[in-house]
Structure formats: structure tokens, C-alpha cells
């Protein structure tokens, strides 16, 4: 685990990724793997829908857990306060702007809300004053959404592409 203070001062080549109250351990494990291979810092905002020692989380992340930087925040305000120089870009199906219409910076935080579950829809988080942009991934209108980490992967790779895949090979 990385402290919030250290995450705020660590130079990165990709934006940060944030899962607000993730519910499915396999998705978070896959996000850990994504962050390890792209050099992205992963922020997890509590409450989590699983224990961080969950076997599904460990299995999905394979052996990448030690190569990824993960920050655990007790609440969303802690994330906002610990990253004061970051622009928060919320990914939501309700947005009109496409994710490709944003010029990404390494200091950005790409925010994804929770998977369906037992917590209320966090519109105060996804539309709050701390959000600089709301964007969406295009999809057919008759379907609900992509898998959370599939969406995050598309977003991180678009941002990294814009930044010329700095630090990659």
C-alpha cells in the first residue's frame, strides 16, 4: 500500500485511477494488474465490497500485487484533500462528452463509480463540485455498461496514448 501523501507527490506517466467503493474483488484485482503494467497509481475509496485479502482479488491480480501502487482512502473527501493539484474526470454513462475529447495529464484522476450493489447511486460523487469533467465511453443504447475494469483499461490506455506511452516500450 502507498500512503495518500506519497501518491500525491509521486511523479507518474499516466493519470491516476480511482474506484469509488468497488464491490467485485475480481475487478479490483484486474485493476491492480492494469496499474502495474501501465505505471498507474490505483486509489480505492471505502467502503469496499470485499476484504483486500480476498482470494478472487489476489487471483485476478496474479503476481502483480507487489508491482502496483495502491492507495486506500477511508472516504472520498480524503482522496480529494490528498490530491489537491489533480483534476478529477468522472466516467459516467450520463455524460455527453466522450472520453476521447479530453486532453489527459499525468496528474489527473480517472474516477469510476461502484459496480451495481447495495450502496446508493453516488451522484454527489460523480457530479460534485470536485469533478472537472464528466465523460463517457460510447456503447449501444440498449445495453447497461461494460465491465468496470474494461472501461478503466480503455480510459487509461487512451490517456497513456495521448502522453506518447511515456515510460512504456
Residue-by-residue DSSP string for 122-162: -HHHHSSTTEEEEEB----TTS----HHHHHHHHHHHHHHH
Q: Is 145 annotated as a binding residue?
A: yes
Instruction: Give, as one character, the DSSP assignment of residue 98.
Output: B
39: left (phi over 0), alpha (psi -120 to 50) or beta: left
Residues 6+ apart with CB under 8 A from 100: 158
Closest CA to 68 of 14, 2, 5: 2
Q: Is 113 annotated as a binding residue?
A: yes
Which residues are known binding-site members? Answer: 113, 137, 145
Which residues are known binding-site members for S-adenosyl-L-methionine? Answer: 113, 137, 145
Amino acid at each position: 500500500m502507498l500512503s495518500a501523501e506519497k501518491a500525491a507527490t509521486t511523479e507518474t506517466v499516466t493519470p491516476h485511477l480511482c474506484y469509488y467503493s468497488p464491490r467485485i474483488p475480481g475487478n479490483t484485482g484486474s485493476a491492480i494488474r492494469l496499474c502495474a503494467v501501465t505505471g498507474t497509481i490505483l486509489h480505492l475509496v471505502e467502503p469496499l465490497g470485499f476484504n483486500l485479502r480476498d482470494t478472487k482479488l489476489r487471483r485476478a491480480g496474479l503476481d502483480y500485487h507487489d508491482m502496483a501502487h495502491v492507495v486506500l482512502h477511508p472516504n472520498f473527501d480524503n482522496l480529494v484533500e490528498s490530491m489537491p493539484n489533480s483534476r478529477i474526470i468522472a466516467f459516467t454513462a450520463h455524460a455527453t462528452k466522450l472520453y476521447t475529447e479530453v486532453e489527459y495529464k499525468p496528474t489527473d484522476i480517472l474516477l469510476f463509480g461502484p459496480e451495481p450493489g447495495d450502496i446508493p447511486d453516488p451522484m454527489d460523487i460523480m457530479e460534485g463540485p470536485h469533478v472537472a469533467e464528466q465523460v463517457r465511453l460510447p456503447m449501444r443504447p440498449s445495453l447497461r455498461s461494460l465491465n468496470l475494469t474494461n472501461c478503466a483499461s480503455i480510459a487509461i490506455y487512451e490517456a497513456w496514448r495521448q502522453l506518447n506511452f511515456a515510460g512504456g516500450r
